[in-house]
Every structure is written in C-alpha cells, then in structure tokens.
Amino acid sequence: MTEIMQAAPLLKVNDIHVYYGAIHAIKGISLEVYENEIVTLIGANGAGKSTTLNTIAGLLKPRQGTVELNGEVLNGLGASKIVPKGLSLCPEGRRIFQQMTVRENLEMGAFTRPLNEISASLEEMFERFPRLKEREKQIAGTLSGGEQQMLAMARALMSRPKLLMLDEPSMGLAPILVEQIFSIISELHASGVTILLIEQNAQMALHVANRAYVMETGLITMQGPAEELLQNDAVQKAYLGS
C-alpha cells in the first residue's frame, strides 16, 4: 500500500466546487486514486457522490478546482474527450441503451477505439460475462436488472479505461446479485483495473476497497484505509448500522 502511495496518483481531484444553478452541491473536495487501487466513496443519499463522479467524468463542470488524470488537467474537456484518455464512468442507474442489442451496447463502449481492436475486446467481455454472450443479440431493455448492470460494467470496460468509476453498481439488486457484482469488482481489480467505487452498501464496499472517503453534504468528512474505517465508531454508527 505505502509503496503504491509514493508514486504520483492516477487521478487527482483538487478542491472542486460544483453547483446546480444556485445549489452548492460540492463544496471543495479533494481526493486521489493511485494505480491498482480500489477506492470507495461512501455517504448517505444526497451527499454528492454522483455529482463528484459526474464532474470527474466531465458531464458536469466544476466552478472551481481541478481534475487531473496522470498529471493532465481534464477541466473543460467534456466527457466525450475524456473517455479516450482512459477514464470510464459506469453511471448511476446503469443507463444502458435500452433499444440497442447487447452487442451494440458493448460496441458503443468502444466508440473511441480503432475498429480492428473491438472484436478482441468483445471476446474478452463475453468471457468475463458469459451471460452477455448468451444474450448477445437480445435488446438490452429486455434484460433483467442484474444482467443490465453487468452490461453497463462491460460497456464501461470496452473503452479499456485506466480508471473505472462505478456509481452504485449494486443499486436495486437482489442480495445474491450484489455478491456477484462485488466478486466481479474484485476480479477486475485482480486483473489490474484501478477502480473508484461509489456505494450505499458501505459494508461490502469497505471490504473490497483499499482506501475509502466518507462524504457528507458536499464535503469529505473522513478518509483512510478501508479496514480502519470499518472499525471506526462513527462510520459504524452512520453507515454500517451497528
């Protein structure tokens, strides 16, 4: 862990402020993600977790502060120009293309990559998510919730991101599917993907993560190694229900 931390961070968020009109949703957040880490961002509903990820991805613009990937400032680029730099967001609520087939969804994930590389990546995804292979030609809107989540994650991976950001991947899924999603996250991590994970399910998120940040109403209130936060009294009271 300490060894990893000495290198320059892959993602560096520097004191960002984000507004929705007059609403000050993010009030100065800084965080880092180092290569090969899983970092989780936990917090109650409305704390500003999604806003933070959407800002990093370029869907929202910070009024102040910077987002850097590998030392390169991303501010003002816009989401579509950030994707090819190696950052991919699997958004809250999945937002797969309901009217397209599973295969088309995956192909769209590789939109910024050269055509000749796509079929190898498709095979890779079908190997990792065999259910998607079975449903390759099915219209995505007809998949079950768990399958849609897998498709959303696979689609986000199709751009070959250096950093994968997952916004509540377990939302609305049955417990057995939640476990499955988390084991996929562990597998992805093991295969070398760096992950920034948002979760309501703090228990599972803290178990899978290396480090964690706790957010409350637009601010980061706590941070540290995941095991430490798991033991922390305040965290246990607020997020682990014990």
Which residues make up the interface to ligand ADP (CB under 6 A)?
A: 20, 23, 25, 43, 45-51
Size of the site for other proteins (CB under 8 A): 33
The distance of closest approach from Cβ of residue 92 to Mg ion in the complex, given in angstroms and rounded to an integer, is: 5
Contact call for residue 40 and Mg ion (CB under 5 A): no
Per CB under 5 A, the list member of 25, 48, 50, 82 interacting with Mg ion is 50
Contact call for residue 54 and Mg ion (CB under 5 A): no
Place of tokens 């939640």: 178
Contact call for residue 109 and other proteins (CB under 8 A): yes
SS3 72: strand
Residue 88 touches which member of ligand ADP, other proteins, Mg ion, none, C-beta under 5-8 Å by kind: other proteins
Contact call for residue 43 and other proteins (CB under 8 A): no
Best CA proximity match to 216, nearest among 11, 29, 14, 38: 29
| 82: phi then psi, degrees, rounded to nearest 5 | -80, -35
First-residue to last-residue Cα distance in the chain: 28
Rounded to the nearest 10 degrees, the angle between the axes of helix 175-190 and helix 145-157 is 20
Separation of CA 98 from chain center: 21
State the residues that interact with other proteins by CB under 8 A. Answer: 57-59, 78-81, 83-84, 88-89, 91, 95-101, 104, 107-109, 111-112, 137-139, 141-142, 155-156, 159
